Chains A and B, each alone.
Chain A
Amino acid sequence: MSERKTWQEVELGIELPAATSLAYKTGGWRVLRPIFDPSACTHCMICVGYCPDMAIPVATSEAGVAGKGGRVFKGVVRVATNLDYCKGCGICAHECPSKAITMIREEEAEQASCKL
Chain B
Amino acid sequence: MPTLQEIALKTSGADARIVSGHRMCSGCGIGSIIKTVLAASDKPVIVISATGCLEVVTTIYPFTAWNTPWMHVTFENAASVAAGVEAAYKALKRRGKIEGDVNILAVAGDGGTYDIGFQALSGALERRHKFMYLAYDNEGYMNTGNQRSGATPFGASTTTVPAGKISLGKPQWRKNLVEIVAAHRIPYVAQAAVNNTIDLYKKAQKGFNADGPAVLVVLQPCTSNWSFDSSLTIQYSKLAIETNFWPLYEIENGVVHVNTKPSNRKPIEDFLKGQSRFRHLFKPGNEHVIVEMQKMIDDEWARLLKLEESGIQL
Contact = CB atoms under 8 A, between A and B. Distances in A.
Interface of A: 16-26, 29-30, 44-46, 48-58, 60, 75-76, 78, 82, 84-85, 87-91, 93-95, 103
B20 A54 contact: yes
Given A91-B230, A94-B235, A50 B197 contact: yes
Interface stretch (B60-68, B178-186, B251-259, B304-312): B60-68
B8 A49 contact: yes
Contacts of A16: 62, 64
Interface of B: 3-9, 11-14, 16, 18-24, 26-32, 35-36, 58, 60, 62-68, 194, 197, 223, 229-235
Residue among A22, A54, A57, A78 with most chain B CB within 10 A: A54
A56 B16 CA distance: 13
Contact of B62 (A20, A22, A76): A20
A78 to B, nearest CB: 8
Given A18-B68, A19-B65, A21-B64, A44 B20 contact: no
Contacts of A45: 3-5, 7-8
B67 A18 contact: yes
Contacts of B65: 19, 21
A76 B8 contact: yes
Contacts of B3: 45
A53 B12 contact: no
A21 B23 CA distance: 9
Contacts of A85: 20-21
Contacts of B22: 21, 26, 53
Contacts of B13: 57-58
